[in-house]
Amino acid sequence: MHRFPPVDDGLVGVLAPGSGPGPDSATPVSPWSRPWTGPAKEEAQELFRQQAETALELHLCRERRRAAVLATMGVDYPYTYEGAPFPASAFETAGVVAA
């Protein structure tokens, strides 16, 4: 007895047009008729939290680079960060404002 590998239904429809799915298969299917396959609420929240943290880190890196470049040009940029040895108000008393 010969055993043949399983045949893909799409291939059968191309080779034998009368044996494929009927005209009803052209009817669009509502995406709401299928169960949700995306991430769960908790997974989505975690993803958005990670994106927010990454965006904050990138913003801080840009600000540090800006402060470093301006410092090399002799411009005092009011850059401060959490745990800095001086508060942001120290720049206000010196008359320096952010651009």
- Segment among 16-30, 45-59, 67-81 with least mean pLDDT: 16-30
Give residue-wise pLDDT tens across range 11-23. 555 555 555 555 5
How confident is residue 46, by pLDDT bands cut at 50, 70 and 90?
very high
Range of the domain at 77: 41-99
Is residue 81 a part of any domain in this protein?
Answer: yes
pLDDT surpassing 80 at residue 43 = yes
- Segment among 14-18, 27-31, 67-71 with least mean pLDDT: 14-18
Count of domains observed in the chain: 1
pLDDT surpassing 60 at residue 42 = yes
Is residue 62 a part of any domain in this protein?
Answer: yes
Is residue 49 a part of any domain in this protein?
Answer: yes
Is residue 19 a part of any domain in this protein?
Answer: no
Is residue 4 a part of any domain in this protein?
Answer: no
Whole-structure pTM value: 0.43
For every residue of the chain, DSSP letters joined together read ----PPPPHHHHHHHSGGGS--GGGGSPPPGGGSPP-S--HHHHHHHHHHHHHHHHHHHHHHHHHHHHHHHHTT-------TT-SS-THHHHHHT----
